[in-house]
Amino acid sequence: MLHKTAMKLETLAVHAGDRKQADSFVPVTTPIHSAVSYFYKETETLDRVFANEIPGQNYSRYGNPTVNALEQQIAALEGGQWALACASGMAAMHLALLGALTDRRKSVVAGSVLYGATIRQLMDILGPAGIETRFADPNDPAAWEAAVAEQRPGCVLVETIANPMLRVAPIDRVVEIAHRHQALVVVDSTFATPLLLRPLELGADLVVHSLSKYLAGHGDVLGGVVVTGEEFRPALQAISRTVGSVLGPFEAYLAMRGVKTLPLRMARQCSNACRVASWLATHPRIERVNFPGDPQHPDVAIVRRLFPPGLYGGMISFEVREAGRQEIFHFMDALKMIVPATSLGDVHTMVLYPPMSSHRELSAKHRQRLGIGDNFLRLSAGIEAPEDIIEDLEQALNKTSLLGD
């Protein structure tokens, strides 16, 4: 396997994890190993593998060669020592939180704006299990530190770019405050990808990604991954092997293939998002645009400090003026090229209606407190020609304007 941490991210994306030698030949790409179990010529060898005395495979709930190659690839991109692939992004989030709280106070301080399913996991799954969550705004340093000091959490949880309001968390400040109060830091960096930010380099303890989004990038993989240091391996492996939320080898193969073009895709998506966000901001039917690359964005100083120049992510959210649920549905139905579906980070541009999907399970009042009204949409820029994305948005907005008027 080719793995040099001195290599640039673009090179690691193509080569990390691949080319493990098998007998006298080396496959150019990692094969799909679909076997559930493995044996050796001598049973004593299998016993030593089970005991972790020597490396090897024994049972695919414990590990799989294809999945392991993907884990090495993602760990290299994030600058982590170790990664664990899971069956979904939410499974990865669950494992990361449980792993962080294994020997710590069962309490979390979380960002006030998060993916809807993450909020539900904190409140409806971890809450009844005795893990208390307090929400605070990581972009308000005084309020955030007060919450951490009062709650004394075992860990804090933030998203690098918050879903769907696109606030950018000051990860370096979040880490400093958390560690000063003996709390670990879990970061969902799905929207940013390692191309924009590597939270572990800023001191975060565990980083979570939905593989389904930018990393795999083609809308054909459901998966997640946790990247961290070796000290968390025993706890995370024990939870994963017992719960069984493992990624399959076919999904791992597809994800690994997708990651190889991540730097190319993400750079194009960032560029397209800049073009589309600028155009939306001038359209008379658009009331508000949220985009980290906007010079008027509330977190512009954080963006300039933490993100590479010109890379602000591929996500945009916006509000359609004087539109309600009916007008939003009409707009989505009028799209001809843009895909009105539930996901993001694909090569094709996608539009999602959070009140219907990503934040559906939250009450209307909760959504309003987060800033998600009935006229709110989230757009994930693809790699198409930006002119075509804009043309499709314009014709759909024009049709919506006729309905609204």
Q: Which residues are catalytic?
A: 61, 115, 188, 213
Tell the residue number behind the tokens 């934040």, with chain if given: 359
128: which residues sit within 8 A by CB, 6+ positions away? none
